[in-house]
Chain A
Amino acid sequence: MPIATRVDRVFDALGDPTRRAVFRRLRKGNRSVREIAEGMNVSRPAVSQHLKVLKGAGLIAVRIDGARHLYGVDPSAIEVLRNWLDGFWDGTLTAFKAAAEEEQKKMER
């Protein structure tokens, strides 16, 4: 998916207040739908629907633990936003610089 499309989906997904609340509940680790819905004024099917949109935007990832589906923040979403801020070639060159400098250090050791 082109980064522009992915960024649009991120902003669209976070444009909804309930969905933001669901997303924020995942900051401290993986949660099940039941755990996310607890204490929220939202039904479990509605939470599931919000999770689907967040997942489609690449903001969260699902981990399957036995019979349980656990949802957590996808760290690459943050990287996508950072790179989008940097722009295509700025972001790419910054990544290249880090790799070249690491290689240089490796050779000096």
Chain B
Amino acid sequence: MADQEFDPNSVRKSIDVNAAQDVAWKVFTGKMGAWWPLAYYKIGKANAIDAIIEPEVGGRWYELGDDGSTCQWGSVLVWEPYSRLVVSWDINADWQYDAGLKTEVELRFIALGNDRTHVELEHRKLDRYGSRRDEMRRIYDTEGDWGKFLEAFARVAEA
């Protein structure tokens, strides 16, 4: 999952998955609630129990809370099973839904044989975060700050 060349307005990731292209697509788009880190990558007040992408252009991408509430994250812009998905990601820098934000997340599912798929992700148009672009890019790319972590870990280990 190494970064490619640096683009301040875009984050690119890729990963190889030992699953067929259609399986990878179906798990990503249809079973998101089973793997998305809902414990902390969510915006609603309720505990999130599912993440849903409505399977059509214009469909909503949203989280479902345990109280039945929904919080939208974005919308489907391109729906091309089993190879290409583009969704808007309309979560602003304060982790609130903002329909006008329209950063974009593109997924490409490239078959590497019968049971292996190369998945590419690009999160782009980060310039729409304005003055908070760099802060948000850092979160989406790698939020991890090894120095801070190791320092804190050392303190805990020494206690």
Contact = CB atoms under 8 A, between A and B. Distances in A.
A10 B87 CA distance: 32
Contacts of A95: 35-37
Interface residues of A, number: 40
Contacts of B152: 11, 14-15
Interface residues of B, number: 40
A4 B17 contact: no
Given A1-B40, A11-B152, A99 B34 contact: yes
Among A15, A87, A90, A96, chain B packs the most CB atoms within 10 A around the CB of A96
Given A86-B144, A87-B144, A101 B18 contact: yes
A17 B89 CA distance: 41
B31 interface: yes
A15 B149 CA distance: 12
A93 B41 contact: no
Contact of B95 (A2, A20, A87, A89): A2
B1 A90 contact: yes
Contacts of A23: 156
B149 A90 contact: no
A90 to B, nearest CB: 5
B144 A93 contact: no
The 3 closest A-B pairs by CB, nearest first: A99-B35, A87-B142, A104-B19
Contact of A107 (B1, B13, B23, B142): B23
Given A14-B152, A89-B121, A104-B23, A83 B17 contact: no
Given A96-B35, A104-B18, A24 B159 contact: yes
B71 interface: no
A23 B157 CA distance: 12
A45 interface: no
B5 interface: no
B20 interface: yes
Interface in B113-147: 115, 117, 119, 121, 123, 139-144, 146
B99 interface: no
Contact of A6 (B19, B40, B149): B40
Nearest to A18: B159
B57 interface: no
A100 B36 contact: no
Given A1-B40, A11-B148, A93-B119, A101 B143 contact: no
Contacts of B149: 81, 84-85
